[in-house]
Structure 1
């Protein structure tokens, strides 16, 4: 019996020596893979060198082995959490599956070799990651969720409906303005100038609709303040005047937010839309805007017509004044000379003298013929001689009348001087009459040209009563707030993390 026991103990000791040599090799390779970054060896306190090298052979102390494994896992977890930089520098990853040394027992009859399962260590999270995630969630909540919720509440429950009235019109010129020339080139030139002029007038009207002048006129006509501060308007969209800002300028800024005007340069068409909180108010405002635009175009056309006629009328006035002076000078001459028309009187007197001289010449011819066969004392000769003497006396008398024409009693001016003065006055009157006639024709031509250059407003889409509210576009505005806030948050986050990474 004792011999058998001794043989068995010697066999067990040899088997244990072989197992210890094999396990020393396995534990050395496993320790190199599972060695902590701090360089510490997982040696339990109070263990012998053999037991620390071959913990799987110590089957008689399971509680001590479990404690050592728990301490080892705790040290590895602390090392992974406190030194993430060392992991990045080449240490073993935190999520590495660490195989524990297997428990190897000598094979005995009726006994089975058991191995313990491997322990999986979860990945270690860097310090502050949870706090950064919370900050990101809070910023997204404040930047995206809160504005979207506010927009949903406002546009879904509070926003008042707004009705839109529209009008379309253009500034036009008469058809004759584009064909004032007689040939093709003049027609093309006239058309281009007319289109340029009407285009500039249309742009002026578009700018006038956005100005404070039309707001002041419409305030007097419609009371815009009461229209945009009624009870049907919500607190965001209504006009909110303040005691220190209730001015035309403040009302004009609000007017440009509820009205919209678009000018098409190619066609010259003006599109105008306005919003109000009731359909009737929107229609009234649109009609009043069209009426104010028509008044402006009429003023511009009237001013252009007056500018075109001003110079022509001034020239006509000067020509008329000159003609009056010329006529007054002739009247003064007639009053001073005592003859209505010296030239005509002199011409008639010269005609009379010429007739008398012709009769005298005939009488002398007959007298000479009778004296050739009658005596000088013959009654026929005496009668003919007396008639000739009478004609001579008459001629002298008529010539004396010609010399006295244009002279009052006591006057000494010769007839030639009077005739020269009268002719000068008559020439001045003729020139004055022709100048006045030319000036009158120029005024007529300027008036026709001004009529061709006149402008008028053509409304081809009249304002109509809206039946449905087009503003606000509730779903569209909510989605717009969501998209814009998301984009803003994303841009802010990218900027923040970029600055943080750059500073690190």
Structure 2
């Protein structure tokens, strides 16, 4: 019985066999890390997609449009370059600081700046339009719409195109004026450049001509005035000499000499008459003769004294006329000195005016290019890309700063 009882199956207590809800902490941490990484990757992909979209919209697409314009649409432009100098005429003399600067670029610095301003002015643009049809050329249908002028453009619009396509630069260290003229045709570009150089030559001539005329005008006025004064002095002297004796002083001296001679003779005759009268029995014939001679000599002396008084007294006397003639001669000498000084001043002014002469010399003559100069498609496209990238970067930084400030 004991053996049978030992072979019977034994009852066992029930045990829980369901899976446990408890998870291993290491596995749970791994799952959480995996979920975080997936979320980070998803957000990163979304941000990269948004970044690529923004870059495409704000940078790549505009760059593509600009590149298409430069490579396929933009009209080829031809640039003609030229260089010229404004020089001063060689002078034989010169002293001081002006003599040191003569012949250098500093002597023509102001003229070069004036010519540069003129070539960039509306006046030059109008001259070029009148002579070469500047507006008509840039309003041609062969030029792309962006660079083309509208039909019947205003001077202001044409001037903007003129400033864009005519570039003038002045180097003060070397005194060289550099010019670049851009147009849609190489021959037209060369013609524009040559006409602008011609305008510059005319303006340089006008500037130096005005200086010379101003200087010479004053010298000529002074010379003409000196000539008129000398002519008046000479006419006055001639009129005085025609109305009197040639030598009034000599005439007065002759009268005085004659009076002295008559006085001596009268004195001798009076002595002879007194000696005859002192005789007890004077010779009556001699006495009468001596008395007659004394009377005649006295009358002659009185007449000569009257002549002398008339010659030395009164406004119409010989002395007065002699004084007037001397004054007129002195005025004539003074006028001659003034005339000589005016002539010398005119010659000196003429020399100075010749030193003021400016002339334009072309060091690099304009030559029509055989290949288009603009646009530089690749360089301009890269530049547009950099510009759009910089704009996008600035906008992104600004937006980030604003968001950060708003969140704080």
TM-score with structure 2 length normalisation? 0.77
SS at match of 2:67: helix
Q: Is the 8 A contact 2:149 2:157 kept in 1?
A: no
SS at match of 2:230: helix
Whether 1:207 aligns to 2:207 is: no
d(CA) in 2 for partners of 1:2, 1:456: 144
How far apart are residue 269 of structure 1 and its match?
A: 0.3
How far apart are residue 427 of structure 1 and its match?
A: 1.0
Against the structure 1 CA distance between its residues 352 and 284, is the aligned structure 2 distance closer, same or farther, given a 3 Å change threshold?
A: farther
Q: Is the 8 A contact 1:263 1:269 kept in 2?
A: yes
Aligned to 1:6: 9
Whether 1:483 aligns to 2:386 is: yes
Q: Is the 8 A contact 2:252 2:308 kept in 1?
A: yes
Which structure has the higher relative contact order (CA within 8 Å, separation 6+)?
Answer: 2
How far apart are residue 198 of structure 1 and its match?
A: 0.4
Q: Is the 8 A contact 1:167 1:271 kept in 2?
A: yes
Write the mapping of 1:9-88 to structure 2, written as runs, cut at 5 A. Answer: 10=12, 30-32=23-25
Correspondent of 1:153 among 54, 58, 68: 68
Correspondent of 1:422 among 309, 320, 325: 325
Correspondent of 1:333 among 240, 259, 267: 240
d(CA) in 1 for partners of 2:340, 2:308: 36
Q: Is the 8 A contact 1:174 1:452 kept in 2?
A: yes
How far apart are residue 282 of structure 1 and its match?
A: 0.4
Whether 1:123 aligns to 2:33 is: no
Correspondent of 2:193 among 274, 280, 286: 286
How far apart are residue 169 of structure 1 and its match?
A: 0.5
Against the structure 1 CA distance between its residues 461 and 197, is the aligned structure 2 distance closer, same or farther, given a 3 Å change threshold?
A: same
d(CA) in 1 for partners of 2:51, 2:301: 135
Gaps of 5+ in 2: 265-298
Q: Is the 8 A contact 1:173 1:455 kept in 2?
A: yes
SS at match of 1:6: coil
Against the structure 1 CA distance between its residues 401 and 5, is the aligned structure 2 distance closer, same or farther, given a 3 Å change threshold?
A: farther
Whether 1:462 aligns to 2:369 is: no
d(CA) in 2 for partners of 1:192, 1:202: 15
Against the structure 1 CA distance between its residues 406 and 483, is the aligned structure 2 distance closer, same or farther, given a 3 Å change threshold?
A: same
Correspondent of 1:274 among 181, 192, 197: 181
Whether 1:191 aligns to 2:131 is: no
Q: Is the 8 A contact 1:349 1:398 kept in 2?
A: no
d(CA) in 2 for partners of 1:449, 1:5: 150
| Greater CA drift, 251-260 or 347-356 | 347-356
Against the structure 1 CA distance between its residues 4 and 458, is the aligned structure 2 distance closer, same or farther, given a 3 Å change threshold?
A: farther
Q: Is the 8 A contact 2:81 2:179 kept in 1?
A: yes
Against the structure 1 CA distance between its residues 398 and 4, is the aligned structure 2 distance closer, same or farther, given a 3 Å change threshold?
A: farther
Against the structure 1 CA distance between its residues 466 and 412, is the aligned structure 2 distance closer, same or farther, given a 3 Å change threshold?
A: closer
Q: Is the 8 A contact 1:164 1:274 kept in 2?
A: yes
SS at match of 2:180: strand
d(CA) in 2 for partners of 1:202, 1:151: 38
Against the structure 1 CA distance between its residues 162 and 426, is the aligned structure 2 distance closer, same or farther, given a 3 Å change threshold?
A: same
d(CA) in 2 for partners of 1:144, 1:253: 28
Aligned to 1:116: none
d(CA) in 2 for partners of 1:400, 1:321: 41
Q: Deviations over 1:446-478 (max 9, x none)?
A: 110111122111111111122111111112112
SS at match of 2:247: helix
Q: Deviations over 1:93-125 (max 9, x none)?
A: 3448xxxxxxxxxxxxxxxxxxxxxxxxx7235
d(CA) in 1 for partners of 2:55, 2:77: 33
Correspondent of 2:86 among 161, 165, 171: 171
Against the structure 1 CA distance between its residues 474 and 237, is the aligned structure 2 distance closer, same or farther, given a 3 Å change threshold?
A: same
d(CA) in 2 for partners of 1:324, 1:132: 103
Aligned to 1:180: 94
Gaps of 5+ in 1: 37-75, 77-91, 97-121, 362-392
d(CA) in 1 for partners of 2:239, 2:349: 36
Correspondent of 1:227 among 132, 137, 154: 137
How far apart are residue 2 of structure 1 and its match?
A: 6.9
Q: Is the 8 A contact 1:263 1:271 kept in 2?
A: yes
Q: Deviations over 1:38-67 (max 9, x none)?
A: xxxxxxxxxxxxxxxxxxxxxxxxxxxxxx
How far apart are residue 136 of structure 1 and its match?
A: 2.9
Against the structure 1 CA distance between its residues 398 and 266, is the aligned structure 2 distance closer, same or farther, given a 3 Å change threshold?
A: farther
Q: Is the 8 A contact 1:312 1:443 kept in 2?
A: yes
Q: Is the 8 A contact 2:78 2:189 kept in 1?
A: yes
d(CA) in 1 for partners of 2:237, 2:190: 69
Correspondent of 1:250 among 132, 135, 157: 157
d(CA) in 2 for partners of 1:267, 1:94: 73
Correspondent of 1:497 among 393, 400, 406: 400
| Greater CA drift, 278-287 or 130-139 | 130-139
Whether 1:93 aligns to 2:33 is: yes
TM-score with structure 1 length normalisation? 0.64
